[in-house]
C-alpha cells in the first residue's frame, strides 16, 4: 500500500501538494524525483523490506519506479534474474519489478502476480508507463489535457483535483450509480478524470498517450478440481509474505475461515482476528459470536469492534471524503470503523470467495434459470410483463441475464427518485465493460460471474476496501482474488460449480481438505457482511436521513426528486421499503454538497 503521484512536466509545488493528499496511504516515507519533463512523488507504506534502501521512487539505470501494491511471486522472479546476471541490493519486490522491466520491457508486467499500480519512467526515451493489476485491486487515476498535453496521474482522485482549475460533474456516472449503486464507467464522477482500467497499460510519450489492454485472464475450463487444496495453499501462502504484523477480518462464514486455516499454517497464531458486533442488534450477532468462538478455539488474539447507529450518522460525510465518490454500499461504515481499530499494516479478508466460488443465492437462481433457458419453449418470444421472473424466460444472452440479476433488480424506485433516470440496457454495456466486452454471449452462470468480476468487484468491493483501509495506512489483501485462483475456477462448467444437488460452493467445500476443521463452527446459512442499517434507518437515524434528503441540506433537485424521496423514507419508516436506495441517495447528496455540484 502506497500513494503514487506524477506528471509529465516540472512543478515541485504541485507534487508536494499531491503527496500531502496521499500521505495517509504511505506515512512511512515520502520522497520525489523531478526533471524538466517528469515529476513523480511517492508515499511509502513499508511492508516488504522496511529498510530505507527500498524507499521509492526507486532508480535503476535510466528507469524511475514508483509503485503501489505487492508482487507475490517476486522471490521466484528474483531467482531467475540472478541467473541472468542481475545483482540485488535489497530484499524488496520493488527492485525485482524494475530489473525485470529492464530485461523484458512491457512484457515484464505479464510475469507479475500480485496487486499493483505501477509507474515507470524511462529517462532516455522520455516515456512514461502506467499499468494496473488485472483484477483491479489497486486504484490509479489520470487526467490528460488535450490543449497543453499535460498528463497527470495519482492513486487518488483528489491528487488530480488539486491541479484542475474547475471540477465538473459527470452525469453518466450518476446514471450508472442510479442503476447499479456504483460507477462502472471509465470516467469518474468528475469530468475528465479517468480510471486506468484493470489490466490496462498506458504509455505517455511526446505529448500523446496510448491505452493498451495488456493483462488478461487465462481461464482453464477443465481445471482439476482435486488440485484446489494445493492451489489455495500455494497462492495464499505467497500472499501472506510480510515483514510486518498482519491481521484478519474474520466472520462466521466459510471464506474468511479458509483464510484463517491457511494463516495458521503459515503464521502459527502470530496474527490478530477482528470482527464486528452491532450494539442492541441481537439478530446480527451470530456472525461475530462464531468468529469469536473460532478464534478462542485456535488461540488467536481476537478484537471485537462494536458499531452503533450513531456511527452511521457520524461517519457518512467522512466516508464520502475518503472514497472520493458516492458509495452506495452501506457496509462502508463498518469498514471505516474496523479501519480505526486495526493496528497492523496488513489486513486479510475472505472477499472474493463468494464471487469466484458461487457463494450467493442469486448465483444458484441464475444457474437454475440457465438450465431452463436451454429447453425454454418461450425463448423466441419477447416477454414484457409486470412479473420479472416471467420476463426472464425470454432472456437470450449473458448481458441480459447479468442485468436481470444486477442492482437494477434490487432498487424498486430508482426511476422515481432520480430525475432523468435512464435504464442501462444490453448495448449500453459497450461503454462499461472491460474484460467481458467481447465475451461470448451465452446466457449461463459463468458468464454472469465474469461480468460481476469485471464491474461490481473492482468498482465497489475493491475500491471501497482499498481507500478506506488505505486512509489508515492499512493494506487490504484479498487472497481469493488471486489471478491464478480466478483463472482455474471462475469459468469451470456450471454443473461442476454446483454438482447434482445445487450446492453453493460445491467445489470449495468438497475439495478443500481443511474444511472439516471449520465445518463444525461456520455458519451454514449465508449472511454476508450484513448490518442493522435498514432497521436503524426506520428509527435511530430516520431524522438524519430526512435532514440530508432535503433541499435545506443541499438543493440538488435537478438530480433528485425530493418529494418522492421524502415519501420513500416515510414508507420505509412504516414498512420496509428500498432502504439501500435511500442510503444510495444519502451518500449522493453528501457528495453533491461537498463538491458544490
Reported as a single tens digit per residue, the pLDDT across 288-343 is 999 999 999 999 999 999 999 999 899 999 999 999 999 999 999 999 999 999 99
Is residue 578 a contact partner of residue 572, using CB atoms and an 8 Å limit? yes
Confidence of residue 379 (pLDDT cuts 50, 70, 90): low
Locate 274 and state its grid cell. Answer: 477482528
Average pLDDT for residues 370-399, to the nearest whole number? 78
**Quick one: the chain helix, strand, coil %, rounded to 5?**
45, 15, 40
Which of 529, 552, 569 is at the close of a domain?
Answer: 529
The reported pTM is: 0.96
Average pLDDT over residues 85-97: 98
Residue 180, in any domain of the structure:
no
Query: How far apart, in whole angstroms, are the C-alpha atoms of residue 232 and residue 258?
Result: 9
Helices (H), 436-577: 445-454, 456, 463-470, 483-489, 494-498, 506-511, 515-518, 533-536, 542-548, 562-574
pLDDT at residue 284, rounded to an integer: 84
Quick one: pLDDT at residue 501? 86
Looking at the predicted structure, is the pLDDT value of residue 396 above 90? no
Whether residue 283 is predicted with pLDDT greater than 90 in this model: the reply is no
Query: How many domains, in total, are found in the chain?
Result: 4
277: β partners:
306
Decide: helix, strand or coil at residue 443.
Answer: coil
Q: What CATH number is attached to the domain comprising 39?
A: 3.60.20.10
Q: Is the pLDDT of residue 378 over 60?
A: yes
Domain of residue 277, CATH code? 3.40.50.620
Q: Which pLDDT score is estimated for 185? A: 98
* Residue 528: band (very low, low, confident or very high) from pLDDT cuts 50, 70, 90: low
Residues 97, 16, single domain; the answer is yes
pLDDT at 573: 95
Is residue 568 a contact partner of residue 581, using CB atoms and an 8 Å limit? yes
Residue closest to 504 by CA, chosen among 402, 360, 369: 360
Q: For residue 292, what are the CA distances in angstroms to 258, 273, 285, 345, 484?
A: 15, 9, 11, 22, 31
Check whether 239 has a pLDDT greater than 90.
Answer: yes
389 with 328, same domain: the answer is no
410-436 confidence digits (pLDDT tens): 899 999 999 999 999 999 999 999 999
Please tell me the predicted confidence (pLDDT) of residue 394: 82
Mean of the per-residue pLDDT values of the chain: 94
Give the confidence band of 518 by pLDDT, cuts at 50, 70, 90.
confident
Q: Do 389 and 336 reside in the same domain of the chain?
A: no
Q: At what angle do helices 331-341 and 309-323 cross, to 10 degrees?
A: 90
437 shares a domain with 318? no
Q: Is the confidence at residue 529, as pLDDT, over 60?
A: no
* Residue 497 to residues 231, 355, 446, 507, 509, Cα–Cα distance (Å): 17, 12, 9, 6, 11
Q: What angle do CA 280, 568, 597 make, to 5 degrees?
A: 100
Boundaries of domain holding 430? 361-454
| Domain end residue (candidates: 414, 431, 454) | 454
Give the integer Cα–Cα distance in Å for 67 and 58.
9
Greatest alpha-carbon span in the chain: 72
Residues 6+ apart with CB under 8 A from 412: 577, 578, 581
Stretch 376-386: mean pLDDT: 67
Is 513 part of a structural domain of the chain? yes
Residue recorded with cell 499494516: 345
d(C-alpha 166, C-alpha 161), whole Å: 8
Share above pLDDT 90 across residues of the chain, in percent, rounded to a whole number:
86
pLDDT (0 to 100) of residue 526? 56
Are residue 143 and residue 20 in the same domain, yes or no?
yes
Amino acid at each position: 500500500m502506497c500513494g503514487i503521484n506524477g506528471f509529465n512536466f516540472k512543478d515541485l509545488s504541485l507534487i508536494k501538494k499531491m503527496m500531502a493528499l496521499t500521505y495517509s496511504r504511505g506515512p512511512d516515507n515520502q520522497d520525489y524525483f523531478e526533471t524538466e519533463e517528469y515529476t513523480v512523488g511517492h508515499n511509502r507504506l513499508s511492508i516488504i523490506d522496511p529498510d530505507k534502501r527500498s524507499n521509492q521512487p526507486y532508480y535503476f539505470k535510466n528507469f524511475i519506479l514508483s509503485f503501489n501494491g505487492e508482487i507475490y511471486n517476486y522471490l521466484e522472479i528474483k531467482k531467475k534474474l540472478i541467473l541472468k546476471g542481475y545483482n540485488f541490493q535489497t530484499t524488496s519486490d520493488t527492485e525485482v519489478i524494475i530489473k525485470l522491466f529492464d530485461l523484458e520491457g512491457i512484457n515484464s508486467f505479464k510475469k507479475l502476480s500480485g496487486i499493483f499500480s505501477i509507474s515507470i519512467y524511462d529517462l532516455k526515451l522520455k516515456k512514461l508507463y502506467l499499468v494496473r493489476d488485472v483484477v483491479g485491486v489497486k486504484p490509479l487515476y489520470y487526467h490528460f489535457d488535450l490543449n497543453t498535453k499535460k498528463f497527470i496521474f495519482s492513486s487518488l482522485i483528489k491528487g488530480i483535483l488539486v491541479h484542475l482549475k474547475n471540477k465538473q460533474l459527470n452525469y453518466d456516472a450518476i446514471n450508472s450509480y442510479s442503476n447499479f449503486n456504483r460507477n462502472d464507467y471509465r470516467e469518474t464522477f468528475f469530468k475528465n478524470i479517468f480510471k486506468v482500467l484493470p489490466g490496462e497499460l498506458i504509455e505517455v510519450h511526446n505529448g500523446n498517450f496510448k491505452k493498451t489492454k495488456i493483462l488478461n485472464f487465462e481461464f482453464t475450463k477443465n481445471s482439476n478440481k482435486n488440485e484446489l487444496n494445493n492451489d489455495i495453499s500455494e497462492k495464499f501462502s505467497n500472499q501472506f509474505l510480510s515483514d510486518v504484523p498482519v491481521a484478519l477480518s474474520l466472520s462466521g462464514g466459510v471464506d474468511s475461515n479458509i483464510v484463517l486455516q491457511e494463516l495458521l499454517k503459515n503464521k502459527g497464531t502470530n496474527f490478530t482476528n477482528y470482527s464486528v458486533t452491532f450494539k442492541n442488534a441481537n439478530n446480527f450477532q451470530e456472525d461475530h459470536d462464531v468468529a469469536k468462538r473460532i478464534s478462542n478455539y485456535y488461540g488467536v488474539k481476537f478484537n471485537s469492534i462494536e458499531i452503533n447507529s450513531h456511527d452511521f450518522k457520524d461517519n457518512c460525510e467522512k466516508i464520502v471524503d475518503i472514497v472520493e465518490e458516492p458509495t452506495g454500499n452501506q457496509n462502508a461504515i463498518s469498514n471505516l470503523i474496523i479501519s480505526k481499530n486495526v493496528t497492523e499494516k496488513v489486513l486479510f479478508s475472505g472477499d472474493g470467495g463468494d464471487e469466484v466460488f458461487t457463494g450467493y443465492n442469486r448465483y444458484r437462481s441464475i444457474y437454475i434459470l440457465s438450465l431452463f433457458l436451454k429447453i425454454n419453449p418461450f425463448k423466441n418470444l419477447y416477454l414484457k410483463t409486470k412479473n420479472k421472473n416471467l420476463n426472464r424466460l425470454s432472456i437470450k444472452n449473458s448481458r441480459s441475464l447479468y442485468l436481470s440479476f444486477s442492482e437494477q433488480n434490487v432498487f424498486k424506485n430508482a426511476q422515481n427518485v432520480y430525475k432523468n433516470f435512464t435504464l442501462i440496457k444490453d448495448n449500453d454495456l459497450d461503454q462499461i465493460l472491460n474484460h467481458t466486452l467481447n465475451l461470448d454471449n451465452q446466457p449461463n452462470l459463468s458468464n454472469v460471474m465474469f461480468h460481476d468480476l469485471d464491474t461490481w468487484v473492482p468498482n465497489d468491493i475493491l475500491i471501497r476496501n482499498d481507500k478506506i483501509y488505505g486512509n489508515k495506512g492499512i493494506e487490504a489483501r484479498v487472497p481469493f482474488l488471486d489471478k491464478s485462483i480466478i483463472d482455474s475456477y471462475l469459468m469451470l462448467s456450471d454443473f461442476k460449480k454446483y454438482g447434482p444437488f445445487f450446492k453453493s460452493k460445491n467445489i470449495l467445500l468438497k475439495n478443500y481438505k481443511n474444511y472439516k476443521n471449520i465445518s463444525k463452527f461456520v455458519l451454514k446459512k449465508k449472511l454476508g457482511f450484513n448490518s442493522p442499517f435498514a432497521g436503524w434507518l426506520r428509527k435511530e437515524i430516520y431524522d438524519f436521513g430526512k435532514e440530508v434528503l432535503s433541499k435545506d441540506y443541499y438543493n440538488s433537485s435537478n438530480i433528485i426528486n425530493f418529494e418522492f424521496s421524502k415519501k420513500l423514507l416515510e414508507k420505509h419508516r412504516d414498512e420496509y421499503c428500498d432502504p439501500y436506495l435511500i442510503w444510495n441517495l444519502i451518500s449522493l447528496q453528501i457528495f453533491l454538497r461537498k463538491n458544490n455540484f
